[in-house]
Amino acid sequence: MQRGIIDTNLVLRFLVNDDPQKVKRVEKLLQNKRDQNILLDTVVAEIVWVLQSYYSLEKLEIIEKIRALIHIDSIDCNTGIIDRALTLWKNNAIAYIDAYLVATAEHKNMPLYTYDKRLHGLKFIMCKEP
């Protein structure tokens, strides 16, 4: 088994299908179930940001694409936290990265230190100011 870390630009080529040659190579990489490719949380955050800001995709379309990606057999990532962050982002008027912070705090059963009033308004997480 071979392991590697997947860069944002590979995933973007795959998700937006804007370069058929590169997409085929990424598909081949992702279809190899013997290999486990690491998708870092920071890469997911960057993918969300690029799809939203550069490609102007709607939130629900981005969520659908990311959820499909994190459930590919050859992808090794923090599926639970990322999936929860996507749900929080979908259901609240917060940025994806804030949703990720909340999901991580929930997962670790820890308070989230923030001055962000929108996050303090979430009833299911303990937010504190320092």
Give pLDDT, residue 34: 82
69 shares its domain with 124: no
pLDDT digits over 26-59, tens only? 999 999 878 889 999 999 999 999 999 999 999 9
Residue type, 125: I
Q: Which residues contact 124 (CB under 8 A, 6 or more apart)?
A: 106
38 shares its domain with 100: no
Residue 2: pLDDT over 80: no
pLDDT digits over 70-114, tens only? 999 999 999 999 999 999 999 999 999 999 999 999 999 999 999
Short-list 85, 90, 72, 80, CA closest to 36? 72
HSE-up of residue 48 (Cα within 13 Å, Cβ side)? 25
130 shares its domain with 99: yes
Q: Which residues contact 112 (CB under 8 A, 6 or more apart)?
A: 101, 102, 105, 119, 125, 126, 127, 128
Distance of alpha carbon 25 from alpha carbon 18, whole angstroms: 13
10 shares its domain with 73: yes
Identify the band that residue 127 occupies on the pLDDT scale cut at 50, 70 and 90. very high
Residue type, 124: F
Query: By residue range, what is the domain housing residue 113?
Result: 93-130
Residue 100 counted as domain residue: yes
Short-list 117, 29, 21, 17, CA closest to 74? 29
